[in-house]
Amino acid sequence: MNIKVCGITEMKQLQQLDGLDIDFAGLIFYKDSPRYIGDMLKKSEVKNADFDLKKSGVFVDPEMIEVLDAIDEYGLEVVQLHGNESPEMCEDLSDEVEVIKAFHIKDNNVDIDELVADYDNACDYYLFDKATDYSIGGTGQQFDWSILLKAKIEKPFFLSGGIGVEDAARLKAFKHPDFFGVDINSKFELTPGMKDMAKLLQFKLALK
C-alpha cells in the first residue's frame, strides 16, 4: 500500500519522509491552506534533492501557468488537483507529470463511476476525499469507504480524509482491485505543516 504524506513545509521533513520510505510527499500550493508552502522551502533545494519519494504539488483551481512554473521550479513529479479542474487541463498536465485528480464525496448516493467518467483518459490516479460545505481541498474527515466497493473505478486510487494510525486495520481489510494508497495529513501533525515522524513510522509498520 502506497503512502502519500501531504502538507510538508520543511526540507528536513522531506528528508525524513524519504528515509522512512514514504512513497509520495505533498507540497501544498493553495494559498489559503495553513500548510501553504509559500517561501518555506527553497525551490532549488527541493528541485535538486535526490529522493526516492515522488514530490507532489497540490493545487486548487490553479492557472495552468502556475502549475507549470511549480513543476519546473520545484522539480515536481506529480500534480494533485483538488478543485474543479477540467479533464482537458488534467490531460495537458499528464504530458508533463503524473496527475492525481481528487473527487469530493458528498453522500452515499453518489455514483462513483459516473463521477470519474470524464477523467478516465485524463489522469493517472484518482483520490477520494469527503466533501463539506465549508472546506476547499482536504477536509480532515472520512467518508463511507464502502461506496467505492460498488464501483469499477478502473484506475489506481488513493483514500483520503481524516485517516489516522487507528485506521490501519480497516485499511488492510479494505479490498478493491484498484486501491493504490492512502493520503494522510492532519492526523499525523504536531502543528499544521509539521509531521510527527514517530506516528508516521507507527502507521507504516501497522500497515504491514
The stretch 2-27 carries a mean pLDDT of 98
The stretch 73-96 carries a mean pLDDT of 97
Q: How far from 29 is each of 42, 80, 117, CA to CA, in Å? A: 14, 10, 27
Q: pLDDT value at position 133?
A: 52
* Nine-digit cell string for 98: 503524473
* Nine-digit cell string for 205: 509498520
Q: Kindly list the domain boundaries of the chain, sorted by start residue.
A: 2-206
pLDDT exceeding 90 applies to what percent of the chain?
A: 92
Instruction: Quote the CA–CA distance of 153 and 115 in Å, as a whole number.
Output: 10
SS3 state of residue 203:
helix
- Kindly report the number of other CB atoms within 10 A of residue 59's CB atom: 22
Supply the pTM of this predicted model.
0.95
Q: Is pLDDT at 35 greater than 70 in this prediction?
A: yes
The stretch 74-94 carries a mean pLDDT of 97
Cβ(161)–Cβ(130) below 8 Å: yes
pLDDT in tens, 191-208: 999 999 999 999 999 999
The stretch 24-40 carries a mean pLDDT of 95
CATH 3.20.20.70 fits 2-206, yes or no: yes
* Nine-digit cell string for 12: 528536513
Q: Is pLDDT at 134 greater than 80 in this prediction?
A: no
